[in-house]
Structure 1
Amino acid sequence: MLRPDRLWPALIAGALAVVAGGCGKGAERVQRGAGTTAPEYVVRDSAQVRRQVQYQDQLALAGRDLQAGNLESAEKRARAALKIDGSAPDAWGLLAGVADRRGQVAQSGELFRKAADMAPERGDVLNNYGAWLCQHGRPAESLAWLDRAIAAPGYATPEVAQANAGSCALDAGQSVRAERDLRAALVRMPANPVALEAMAQLSLQRGQYLEARAFAERRLSAAPATRSVLQLASQIEARLGDQAAADRYLQRIGKEFPQDAGS
């Protein structure tokens, strides 16, 4: 199953992408001076542009607060953004992320779905809801949303949704689809950590232990270790008969994740 923290990079990146788009439209050009001298022009933002800039600022701050774990501030900023523009899906998505971090599962699901319904052709927003469904035990249902994300026009990183689809298909017991989507994602993004970890899990399930080891090692090189991937790597090494290597991964769990090393 997708780890909960895998939703946040996509969620925050979506919010910041809106900010990166900038605001150049809607400016007014005001003439100063008259007569025989050359007129002086001053560019002045319209009220609409100023509101959009304010919205983007609040959205960016909310995303950074969520990333840092400052949930109260993230919620405050997201709600401030909504007061400026309640029809934009990104602030709703950030509120959903705050609720999910707080363990408010039903509320977060409703908010992610609201954002997806508001942006039916935004691949990143559809991916977020699909990932949320998978994380909360509904992997088969998630695939329809992730397929929509992959096919969304203008989605810059469909491999993100495709990696999620492969991982969720594996959770749903659809191993053939899982391999198809995971390998397709890795063609576009060879260091995708979600796809690499899921391929390691799939290879382990199939008894392809050397291939599973290779995928696990690639995953550990691609992104910071998580408890789940260290546990998976330990299981793979145990199946290969290298108990010393398996124990080293377990020791890393104890050192790097002491809060849940015994779970």
Structure 2
Amino acid sequence: MNVVIRYWLVAGLALVFLAGCATQATLQDRDRARQGAEINVDLGLHYLANNNLEQARTNLARALDMAPDYARAHSAFAMLQVRLNNEREAERSFRRAVELDPDDSFTWNSFGAFLCGTGRLDEAQDAFRNALANPYYPTPEHALTNAGVCLLEAGQTKEAEESLRRALDNNANYTPALLEMARLTFNDERFLQTRAYLQRFREHREHTAETLWLCFRAETELRDREGAGNCAVRLKDRFPDSRETARLLELERRGR
């Protein structure tokens, strides 16, 4: 009897050992698959940023095949679908990503921007709030700015300004928020503030055709002919083929 008992104990230990080896091998396979998926997601995002959508699709599909439960792969695939104007697949992938990783503020922010772009403004604000709920979110100014833009789309100017000011409280040099505040204050006829926001924008980023056109209009409203002239000259010199330059030239032809 004792021999039999010892035999089963030894056999049981052997089974445990074999199971442990199998588990370790499985974990190693999963780790390799995840590492491969991470590489393919990085490649996919690189190709997406460079507008090589076909190669991006190849790498991101490969990442999902390697690690179907990898939230970042679903998030990146969603961004590709946004570029392809495939709203249904984009939403499905965004939802899968946040289901797998509910604390991923970057995906919540991207999902919110997507929802706002499809006119679902209330759902978008919920997504931005989810992004901001994570105390470890390193760039809350991104979600706050996107939320502000979305609120402007909804005609909620006061709430939009509050969100944009919060964004600048988090990062005073965040140029997208500075640009949105310049637009908002111009539309609200607060032209001195528009000037100030554009000056802060220029401290951290080169002017664009849009910001120079806004600068020209704000300085014109402030009756600063020299300031308006400087903005006009820079606009025509740097962006001669832009829509903004065409509008400026039309004004000059009319003698305004």
Alignment TM-score, normalising by the size of structure 2: 0.73
Match of 2:164 in 1: 182
1:244 to 216, 229, 244: 229
Q: Which moved more, 1:101-110 or 1:209-218?
A: 101-110
Contact 2:103 2:134 in 1 (8 A): yes
Following TM superposition, by how much is the alpha carbon of 1:122 offset from its aligned partner in structure 2, in angstroms?
1.4
Structure-2 residue corresponding to 1:101: 83
User: Would you say 1:79 and 2:61 are equivalent positions?
Assistant: yes
Which residue of the partner structure matches residue 31 of structure 2? 49
Offset, 1:72: 1.2
Name the SS for the 1:47 alignment partner. Answer: helix
Equivalent pair of 1:163/1:195 in contact (CA under 8 Å): yes
For 1:223, the aligned partner's letter is: R
| Contact 1:167–1:195 (CA under 8 A) maintained in structure 2 | no
In structure 2, how many angstroms separate the alpha carbons of the residues matched to 1:169 and 1:61? 34
> After superposition, what is the alpha-carbon deviation per residue over 1:112-141, rounded to whole angstroms, capped at 9, x for unaligned?
344334433211110011112233444444
Residue 123 (str. 1) matches residue 108 (str. 2): no
Q: Which has the higher contact order (CA 8 A, sep 6+)?
A: 1
Cα RMSD (Å) of the superposition?
Answer: 2.9
Check if 1:65 corresponds to 2:47: yes
* TM-fit CA distance, 1:67: 1.4
Structure 1 pair 109/221, CA: closer, same or farther in 2 (3 Å)?
farther
> Is this contact kept in 2: 1:75–1:98, CA < 8 A?
yes
- Aligned mates of 1:52, 1:143 — CA distance in 2: 32
Give the C-alpha shift of residue 189 in structure 1: 0.7
Q: 1:202 to 1:68 in 2, by over 3 A?
A: same
- Higher fraction of strand: 1
Does the 8 Å contact 2:34/2:70 carry over to 1?
no
Offset, 1:95 = 2.1
For residues 229-254 of structure 1, give each alpha carbon's deviation from its aligned partner in whole angstroms, at most 9, with x where no partner exists.
Answer: 44433432332334424533642673
Q: Partner of 2:24 in structure 1?
A: none
Counterpart residue number, 1:202:
184
Displacement of 1:197? 1.0
**1:254 and 2:239 matched:** yes
Number of the residue aligned with 1:191: 173
The AA in structure 2 aligned to 1:112 is F
Say whether 1:149 aligns with 2:134.
no
Mapped contact 1:234–1:249 kept (Cα < 8 A): no
Q: State how far apart, in whole Å, the 1-side matches of 2:117 and 2:148 are.
A: 13
**How far, CA to CA, are the matches of 1:193 and 1:136 in structure 2?**
25
In 1, Cα distance between equivalents of 2:136 and 2:233: 44
1:150 Cα deviation (Å)? 0.8
**In terms of Rg, which structure is larger?**
2
Identity %: 28
Structure with the largest fraction of helix: 2
